[in-house]
Amino acid sequence: MTAGTGPMTATTAAARVGRAGAVLGAGGLASSVFVMLRMLETWRVTPVQASHRISVLGQKLTYPAANLGAVIVVALALLGLAVTGMIAAGAARELAADRRLRRRLDAHRVHGCLPGAHRGARVIEDARPRAFCAGLIRPHVYVSSGALALLDDNALGAVLAHELAHARRRDPLRLACGRVLARALFYVPGLGELHRHQQALSELSADEHAVAAAPANRAGLARAMLSFSEHSRPDDPTGIDPERVDHLLGDPPSWRFPVLLWGLGLGVLGLLGGVGVLAGRVAAGSATLAVPFLSRQPCVVMLAVVPAALGVGALRLRRGLAGRLAGGPAGHLGRRPARLLARRPVRRLERRPRRDDVPS
């Protein structure tokens, strides 16, 4: 890979992209918290009724009093609250998916690990050839019984070295954090693109670590990718990534750090923060907690809220029990166990003449 002055390894590029994405993510989260704090500072909430009142069907209702600055601060605070909520929900989904995957893998795991140089890799009973790294907090390398039967020792060692590099760098956790931030900070330009670059570069970086551990792993990885592609099922295809093949053949794809896109993302965050600061200086707003109809009839409110809350809780409990009763250990892995590193779209290529240079 090239970037400006000279060659850049995939490992260096992946680290640079990861840091750039972390800066944008941290900036977006910090700006969200900042505008929410500004709203608390600029708005005054009183327990008594404000002077701004309207009459609707004989009921006197109050409404907040605010200038344009206060309205802008509220709008930014609502955006920040939505971002914070999306980050929390995304993190919860990633953790739940990780727990489900580990339970599924444990149900199909063959007791014990591979001996010798492959020590530490966990074997799962599955006829489909596959090897992957999974686990957010404690990543582990998994290999299927189909892969053990298909690959020779050199190819198996290269594949496991590749996956072990993912585990040592905690790539599942890194990419999960990138996914959550890219989805929550949807309005930040460049963050999604950086995450896609990080996904691709993490694979190339793991290949580099495997080849650095043993030069023979270069040919082993190429044979393993070809074997996995040829023995994949039509309903679960495994493609060959052309960039990985080119990288193993010594022809790495050109890549440059998206400086302009990253700078645009920083500019958007700076603009939102500046608007929040300027609006907060002139913002003035007041609201009341004394809602006339509700505050006068609290018993009616409780009689309506309590049964509704109990009904929602009972419905969620029923669905949870139904899901547990319906779910059970299957005879084999029904779906391809996702790596929790989102893979790039599967692509198949026709073999080019220069790929025949890879020793078999």
User: Cα–Cα distance between 333 and 325 in angstroms, integer?
Assistant: 19
Of residues 90 and 349, more confidence is placed in: 90
Nearest CA to 223 among 159, 306, 281? 159
* Pair 223, 320 in one domain: no
Nearest CA to 336 among 232, 230, 236, 228? 236
For residues 196-202, average pLDDT: 91
Give the rounded percent of residues in the chain with a pLDDT score beyond 70: 69
pLDDT at 229 over 60: yes
- Which pLDDT tens digit goes with each residue over 112-155? 666 655 667 888 888 888 899 999 999 999 999 899 889 998 99
- Which pLDDT tens digit goes with each residue over 243-257? 888 788 777 667 788
Residue 43, helix vs strand vs coil? strand
pLDDT at 107: 85
| DSSP per-residue codes, 208-269 | HHHHHH-TTHHHHHHHHHHHHHHT-BTTB-----HHHHHHHTT-PPP----HHHHHHHHHHH
What confidence tier does 179 reach under pLDDT thresholds 50, 70, 90?
Answer: very high
* Pair 197, 323 in one domain: no
Structural domain includes residue 286? yes
pLDDT at 307: 66
User: Cα–Cα distance between 153 and 131 in angstroms, integer?
Assistant: 14
Of residues 40 and 200, more confidence is placed in: 200
* Pair 290, 302 in one domain: no
Structural domain includes residue 149? yes
* Pair 198, 311 in one domain: no
Structural domain includes residue 11? yes
* Pair 240, 310 in one domain: no
* Pair 263, 313 in one domain: no
pLDDT at 281: 85
For residues 72-79, average pLDDT: 89
Of residues 345 and 219, more confidence is placed in: 219
pLDDT at 263: 92
* Pair 211, 314 in one domain: no
- Which pLDDT tens digit goes with each residue over 4-45? 445 578 888 889 999 999 999 999 999 989 888 888 887 776
pLDDT at 222: 87
For residues 163-185, average pLDDT: 94
In degrees, rounded to 5, the angle at the alpha carbon of residue 210 between the alpha carbons of residues 212 and 238 is 150
* Pair 77, 137 in one domain: yes
* Pair 168, 304 in one domain: no
User: Cα–Cα distance between 38 and 40 in angstroms, integer?
Assistant: 5
Structural domain includes residue 57? yes
Structural domain includes residue 257? yes
pLDDT at 119: 66
Of residues 70 and 170, more confidence is placed in: 170
Mean pLDDT for all residues in the chain: 77
* Pair 314, 172 in one domain: no
* Pair 310, 291 in one domain: no
pLDDT at 22: 92
Give the range of the structural domain holding residue 312, as residue numbers without chain letter. 298-327
- Which pLDDT tens digit goes with each residue over 317-350? 667 655 554 444 333 333 344 333 333 333 333 3
Structural domain includes residue 83? yes
How many domains are there within the chain? Answer: 2
How many C-beta atoms lie closer than 10 Å to residue 112's C-beta?
Answer: 8
* Pair 265, 303 in one domain: no
Q: What is the dihedral of CA 306, 311, 317, 320, to 10 degrees?
A: -130
pLDDT at 296 over 90: no
Structural domain includes residue 356? no
pLDDT at 351 over 90: no
pLDDT at 345: 38
pLDDT at 21: 92
Contact 291, 49 (CB under 8 A): no
What confidence tier does 53 reach under pLDDT thresholds 50, 70, 90?
Answer: low
Structural domain includes residue 171? yes
pLDDT at 161 over 90: yes
pLDDT at 46: 63
